Amino acid sequence: MTALEKGAYYTGEYRNLFKELGYSETAIQAKLEQAWNDLLHGDPDIRIYYPMGEDKGYFLDTGNVDVRSEGMSYGMMMAVQMNDKDIFDRLWNFSVTYMQHTEGRYKDYFAWHCKTDGTRLSQGPAPDGEEFFAMALFFAAHRWGDGPEPYNYAEQARRILRACIHQGEDGNGGSPMWEPANKLIKFVPESPFSDPSYHLPHFYELFALWADEEDRPFWREAASASRTYLHAACHPETGLSPEYANYDGTPAEVQRHGDFRHFYSDAYRVAANIGLDWAWFRQDPWQVGQSNRIQRFFRPVDVAAYRRYTIDGKPFDEPALHPIGLLATNAMASLAADGQDAGYFVQLFWNTPLRKGERRYYDNCLYFFSLLALSGSYRIYA
């Protein structure tokens, strides 16, 4: 077994798929730095970061004109990967000041969206934010060191994870973000179902090293449970998964806020998450075939023709809301894929610019994560 066959966590070696296609280190680094600069300071129809006062800033969901725990935690992960402590701390300051609850049923959770002045639009949390906040904070602690509160990054991360699995035990009426019976992440704390794109076993493996000692066995079990869950949530022929799925992997029922039984925006992230889990840990050989399947499904489809799909692959007469985001995750699947389509998607992604316009936020977040991962720059800081 070669070093790369063991995964980056064990070897410290990260594949650079752009370099494998013949691009120079200089060109790759320049593309990465230019994209980061564009997200932070670029033209008004590209940028998604906005400073606030002397010590805060936020990533704007440009399609909904609000600030989301998803985007704030994503931005922090991007910043720590780019070694940009100023942006990281500004995003964290905004998040901890305006979004994190200090009491009640959601104590230590983050309100999932708010206005740009910090006024909360909803009190409830979305667990994908919490897991990205925690992972970004641990990486920050290991890369830059801890400082005074709220820059005691590692303790802040442990505090979030403590709430994620123990919320409600003190009688505050809250609920944990992971279902205790099966160790699967929930869509929201009160829901009896999951979101396949929330499952990040590669994060849970690291939480099992750095969370409170008594909770580490839970996170090891959660990593295993999530890998198994994704087998059930992804269609065995198309590789597509629903946005919301029951604990057995079947599409969840239609919700009062919409129909999420199909392959649409949330679900794009599954391919990226599987690719990164394989790149870091290589624990589940199924991930290779799964990544080949989803790339095989999309190979004949032009990006401009991406649609909403049933999980068995039937297209709706409804265009994808975030086609560049979907391309980015299809490309990121190449971290695990070994089929003939892997190079095609990496090349197509390289030749595709950041999205412009009203709906750019989600696409460009997924775009930047893919750029990090495919350049070997999405790394574990331990």
CA atoms within 13 A on the CB side of 228: 11
Mean pLDDT of the chain: 97
Q: What CA–CA distances, in Å, run from 27 to 18, 24, 32?
A: 10, 5, 9
Mean per-residue pLDDT, 298-311: 98
Q: 61-111: per-residue pLDDT in tens?
A: 999 999 999 999 999 999 999 999 999 999 999 999 999 999 999 999 999
Q: 231-252: per-residue pLDDT in tens?
A: 999 999 999 999 999 999 999 9
- Domain ranges across the chain: 1-42+233-382
Question: From the candidates 66, 266, 284, 363, which is the catalytic residue?
Answer: 266
Pick the CATH number of 1-42+233-382 from 1.50.10.10, 1.10.150.120, 3.30.70.260, 1.20.1370.20: 1.50.10.10
DSSP state of 290: H
Q: Annotated catalytic, 318?
A: no
- Other Cβ atoms closer than 10 A to 367: 26
Nearest to 326 by CA among 260, 370, 277: 370
Predicted local confidence at residue 255, as pLDDT: 84
Q: Give the residue with greater pLDDT, 259 vs 84.
A: 84
Question: From the candidates 61, 70, 130, 195, which is the catalytic residue?
Answer: 70
| Confidence label for 257 from pLDDT (cuts 50, 70 and 90) | confident
What does the chain come to in residues? 382
Phi, psi of 185 (to 5 degrees): -70, 140
Q: How far apart are CA 159 and CA 59, in angstroms?
A: 23
Looking up tokens 């200089």 gives 26
Give SS3 for 367. Answer: helix
Q: Per-residue pLDDT for 344 more than 90?
A: yes
Q: How far apart are CA 136 and CA 120, in angstroms?
A: 23
Predicted local confidence at residue 4, as pLDDT: 53
Mean per-residue pLDDT, 125-146: 98
Q: Per-residue pLDDT for 3 more than 80?
A: no
- Other Cβ atoms closer than 10 A to 18: 22
Q: Per-residue pLDDT for 2 more than 70?
A: no
According to DSSP, the residues that pair with 66 across neighbouring strands are: 61
Phi, psi of 332 (to 5 degrees): -65, -25
Angle formed at CA 248 by CA 244 and CA 254, multiple of 5 degrees: 35
| Confidence label for 262 from pLDDT (cuts 50, 70 and 90) | very high
Report whether 98 contacts 118 (CB < 8 A): yes
pLDDT exceeding 70 applies to what percent of the chain?
A: 99
- DSSP letters, 182-206, are TTEEPSSTT-SSB-GGG--HHHHHH
How many Å is the maximal CA-CA distance in the chain?
58
| Confidence label for 126 from pLDDT (cuts 50, 70 and 90) | very high
Q: Annotated catalytic, 25?
A: no
